[in-house]
């Protein structure tokens, strides 16, 4: 089946009967002159209008991304010139006292480290399991089981983040307390676990795509040499699908960094640099969700939260861009 | 060696045995990893169901919250989610489908369209809270919609746009190129081909994408939190359209967040039951999409 995109390949002839530059085609059949059918002006105009709408919608994605950056940065920008704010402090100070009267501090380092630590915990759990499951689904199981597992993965990916957060708050928090003896159940470990479970489906589905993209001839060649499937996987498929697997991991990271409500509910709420797995932390995203409601519009606090949003936007942009480059690398080969 | 060389070639040597052991070990480990993904899901859903059981009833769905949300049902939140999702769908479905048609049927492989692709990927990866900030800055303040159903739905629509674009593209890509070529060759223009051949052959796939958008929009909390959803709003029981475009509204996801973190002394089974209703609706919608896809593949003739 040819699934090449039409835009890339052959194009329809310009100015066919659909177009308006009609040229008489001569006789059809036994000498009977059939007048060339022409479309009404209204229908041609409607078609033109629709094509304009289609092009506009195509461009809309760019417009939206630029608009997101513009509107967030527009709200954030004035604070850059505020007396109480300094950019080095924003990036490198761990002191976050946005509502203090005498000693206002907008340092997000503790929050950044919170995001980083939760993401690391999530990824350390999710990458082996995600890629392992991707390998199993793609290489080791039969077609029936494969379909079933893919459906389960899709359903897993569909669970709303607030439900994950609720699970973290109730089930996982009790489990964490009883298994580790931590004083509070909502902490780094809990949040990381929840985020890990949330990232696994993405890693599995992108990783499986990457493995599927390796030509079957690679597998056949390897099996013909007497290699087992496992040998084929780690000597042939993993090196061949390296970029795609990397992209899968990166998109998992992207999801973990950007997740808001689940970490808000599952990580506890302490703004400090975590020292152990059982410390409560707060992430950049959760911080915005928790404080935006209380920050009066137009205040420095409000603008700093938007600046945090800009920072998040930039981080996820870089992660997604890198993942896209990695996937594109796979396609080109 | 007294062994017959022809037989020796296929003997189970120590090397082969080791290789086979490694094979079955790897297989077992990968299978365990896949199972490890499923077990928590089943266990958690079962646990939620058990805890929710005392509150789960038709009454819970159609009743309004009572006594400061400590008793009663979830009707306003449920209907609020329906309104938000419906409105966001009305905005994002046409734009998303048309954008996908552009990207798959019109766009040539040049730098501009690569930028569009990158924008779509990036739009999908922007954190939900950043979408919330955008909605707040653009729709609530700049466009002066205020905290409203309208602002929240538009935020949701932009957030879920990539879902529709991605699955519509996939649906369009599954129509064989030969179909288009045949249509062009009888003289149809590009749009006539799309309307007459491409869309009829991919409509179910597009529908799947739209359904997935519904499930995604229904589950999101962060983007509506600051653009239009509130903790509580009085609504008459059974009212299907209680919120105007400029009103604030309740939403199921927001309600779950509220009753599980903000309200003290809620009857214990209520948050669980809310979670089950939300999870159940989202999974049901997704299951519909999956069923549609399976049926479609079954029916496909080329």
pLDDT per position as a tens digit, B133-167:
999 999 998 888 888 999 999 999 999 999 899 88
Rounded distance between C-alpha atoms, residue B90 and residue B84, angstroms: 10
Give the up-direction half-sphere exposure of residue B176: CA atoms within 13 A in the CB hemisphere. 8
Q: How far is CA B300 from the centre of its chain?
A: 24
Residue A284 · residue A313 · CB < 8 Å:
no
Q: How far is the alpha carbon of A181 from chain B, nearest alpha carbon, in Å?
A: 21
Residue B123 · residue A64 · CB < 8 Å:
yes
Residues B97-128 as b/e (b if ≥16 CB within 10 A, e otherwise) read: bbbbbbbbbbbeeeeebeebbbbbbbbbbbbb
Is the model more confident about B257 or about A33? B257
Query: B249 has which bridge partners?
Result: B229
Report the top-level CATH class of B68-299: mainly alpha
CA distances from A308 to B8, B126, B142, B200, B292 (A): 69, 13, 20, 46, 41
Residue A79 · residue A98 · CB < 8 Å:
no
Q: B15 and chain A: CB distance < 8 Å anywhere?
A: no
Taking contacts as CB-CB distances below 8 angstroms, the residues of chain A near B142 are 71
pLDDT per position as a tens digit, A164-217:
999 988 888 888 888 887 777 788 888 999 999 989 988 998 899 889 889 999
Residue B135 · residue B149 · CB < 8 Å:
no
Q: How far is CA B88 from the centre of its chain?
A: 13
The interface residues of chain B toward chain A in range 279-298, judged by CB-CB distance below 8 A, are 279, 282-283, 286-287, 290
Residue B206 has pLDDT above 60, yes or no: yes
Residue B144 · residue A43 · CB < 8 Å:
no
Task: Please determine, for the modelled complex, whether the ipTM score is greater than 0.85.
Answer: yes
Other beta carbons within 10 angstroms of residue B186's beta carbon come to 10
Q: How far is the alpha carbon of A146 from chain B, nearest alpha carbon, in Å?
A: 11
pLDDT per position as a tens digit, B20-57:
888 899 989 988 888 888 887 788 889 889 988 888 88
How high does pLDDT run on average in chain B? 86
Structure tokens at B272: 């669980």
Structure tokens at B238: 């059974």
Other beta carbons within 10 angstroms of residue B3's beta carbon come to 9
Rounded distance between C-alpha atoms, residue A109 and residue A90, angstroms: 7
Q: Of the candidates B120, B129, B260, which has its C-beta nearest A309's C-beta? A: B129
Mutate to test the interface with A, among B15, B37, B52, B120 (most CBs of A within 10 A): B37
Rounded distance between C-alpha atoms, residue B138 and residue B140, angstroms: 6
Per-residue pLDDT, A172? 86
Per-residue pLDDT, A2? 43
The interface residues of chain B toward chain A in range 189-228, judged by CB-CB distance below 8 A, are 189-193, 215-216, 218-222, 225-226
Give the model's confidence band at B2: pLDDT under 50 very low, under 70 low, under 90 confident, else very high.
low
Residue A267 · residue A118 · CB < 8 Å:
yes
> If DSSP codes are grouped into helix, strand and coil, which group holds residue B65?
strand
CA distances from B272 to A168, B79, B81 (A): 13, 19, 18
Rounded distance between C-alpha atoms, residue A251 and residue A323, angstroms: 7
Residue A29 · residue B203 · CB < 8 Å:
no
Sign of CA dihedral B170, A242, A131, A232: positive
Per-residue pLDDT, B100? 93
Give the model's confidence band at B4: pLDDT under 50 very low, under 70 low, under 90 confident, else very high.
low
Rounded distance between C-alpha atoms, residue B96 and residue B161, angstroms: 6
In chain B, where are the structural domains located?
68-299
With CB atoms and an 8 Å threshold, state whether B191 touches A47: yes
Taking contacts as CB-CB distances below 8 angstroms, the residues of chain A near B173 are 3, 5
Give the model's confidence band at B6: pLDDT under 50 very low, under 70 low, under 90 confident, else very high.
low
Which domains are assigned to chain A?
105-332 (1.10.3720.10)
Residue whose pair of structure tokens reads 């890339």 in the numeric block:
A8
Rounded distance between C-alpha atoms, residue A70 and residue A25, angstroms: 55
Give the up-direction half-sphere exposure of residue A148: CA atoms within 13 A in the CB hemisphere. 8
- This prediction has a pTM of 0.85
Query: In which residue ranges of chain A is pLDDT below 50?
Result: 1-4, 8-10, 13-28
Per-residue pLDDT, B95? 93
Residues A105-129 as b/e (b if ≥16 CB within 10 A, e otherwise) read: ebbbbbbbbbbebbbebbbebbbeb
């Amino acid at each position: 089946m040819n699934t090449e995109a039409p835009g890339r390949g052959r194009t329809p002839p310009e100015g066919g009967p659909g177009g308006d530059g009609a040229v008489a085609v001569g006789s059809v059949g036994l000498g009977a002159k059939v007048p060339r059918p022409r479309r009404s002006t209204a229908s041609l105009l409607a078609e033109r209008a629709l094509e304009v709408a289609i092009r506009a919608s195509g461009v809309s994605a760019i417009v939206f991304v630029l608009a997101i950056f513009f509107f967030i940065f527009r709200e954030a920008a004035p604070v850059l010139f505020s007396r109480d704010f300094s950019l080095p402090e924003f990036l490198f100070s761990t002191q976050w006292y946005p509502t203090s009267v005498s000693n206002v501090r907008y340092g997000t380092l503790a929050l950044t480290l919170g995001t980083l630590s939760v993401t690391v915990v999530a990824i350390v759990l999710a990458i082996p399991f995600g890629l392992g499951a991707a390998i199993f689904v793609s290489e080791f199981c039969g077609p029936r089981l494969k379909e079933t597992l893919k459906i389960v993965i899709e359903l897993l990916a569909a669970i709303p983040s607030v439900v994950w957060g609720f699970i973290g708050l109730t089930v996982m928090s009790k489990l964490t307390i009883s298994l580790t003896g931590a004083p509070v159940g909502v902490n780094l470990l809990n949040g990381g676990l929840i985020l890990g479970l949330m990232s696994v489906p993405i890693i599995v589905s992108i990783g499986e795509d990457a493995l599927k993209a390796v030509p079957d001839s690679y597998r056949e060649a390897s099996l013909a040499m007497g290699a087992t499937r496992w040998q084929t996987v780690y000597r042939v498929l993993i090196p061949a699908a390296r970029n795609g697997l990397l992209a899968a991991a990166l998109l998992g990271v992207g999801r973990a960094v950007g997740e808001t409500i689940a970490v808000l509910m599952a990580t506890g709420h302490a703004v400090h640099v975590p020292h152990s797995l059982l410390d409560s932390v707060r992430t950049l995203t959760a911080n915005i969700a928790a404080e935006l409601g209380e920050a009066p519009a137009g205040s420095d606090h409000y603008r700093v939260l938007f600046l945090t949003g800009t920072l998040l936007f930039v981080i996820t942009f870089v992660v997604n861009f890198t993942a896209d480059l990695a996937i594109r690398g796979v396609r080109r080969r | 060696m007294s062994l017959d060389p022809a037989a020796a070639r296929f003997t189970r040597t120590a090397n082969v045995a080791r290789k086979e052991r490694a094979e079955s070990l790897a297989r077992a480990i990968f299978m365990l990893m896949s199972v490890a993904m499923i077990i928590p899901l089943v266990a958690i859903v079962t646990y939620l169901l058990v805890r929710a059981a005392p509150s789960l009833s038709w009454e819970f769905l159609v009743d309004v919250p009572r006594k400061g949300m400590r008793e009663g049902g979830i009707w306003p939140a449920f209907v609020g989610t329906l309104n938000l999702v419906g409105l966001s769908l009305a905005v994002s479905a046409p734009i998303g489908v048309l954008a996908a048609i552009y990207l798959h049927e019109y766009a040539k492989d040049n730098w501009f369209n690569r930028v569009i692709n990158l924008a779509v990927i990036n739009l999908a990866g922007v954190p939900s809270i950043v979408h919330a900030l955008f909605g707040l800055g653009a729709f609530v303040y700049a466009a002066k919609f205020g905290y409203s159903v309208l602002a929240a739905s538009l935020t949701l629509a932009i957030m879920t746009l990539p879902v529709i674009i991605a699955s519509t593209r996939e649906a369009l890509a599954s129509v064989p190129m030969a179909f288009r070529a045949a249509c062009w060759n009888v003289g149809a223009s590009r749009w006539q081909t799309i309307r007459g051949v491409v869309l009829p052959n991919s409509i179910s796939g597009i529908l799947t994408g739209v359904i997935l958008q519904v499930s995604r929009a229904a589950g999101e909390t962060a983007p509506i939190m600051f653009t239009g959803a509130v903790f509580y709003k009085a609504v008459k029981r059974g009212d299907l359209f209680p919120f105007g475009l400029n009103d604030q509204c309740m939403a199921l996801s927001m309600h779950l967040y509220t009753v599980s973190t903000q309200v003290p002394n809620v009857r214990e089974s209520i948050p669980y039951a809310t979670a089950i209703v939300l999870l159940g609706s989202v999974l049901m919608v997704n299951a519909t999409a999956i069923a549609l896809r399976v049926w479609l593949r079954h029916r496909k003739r080329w």
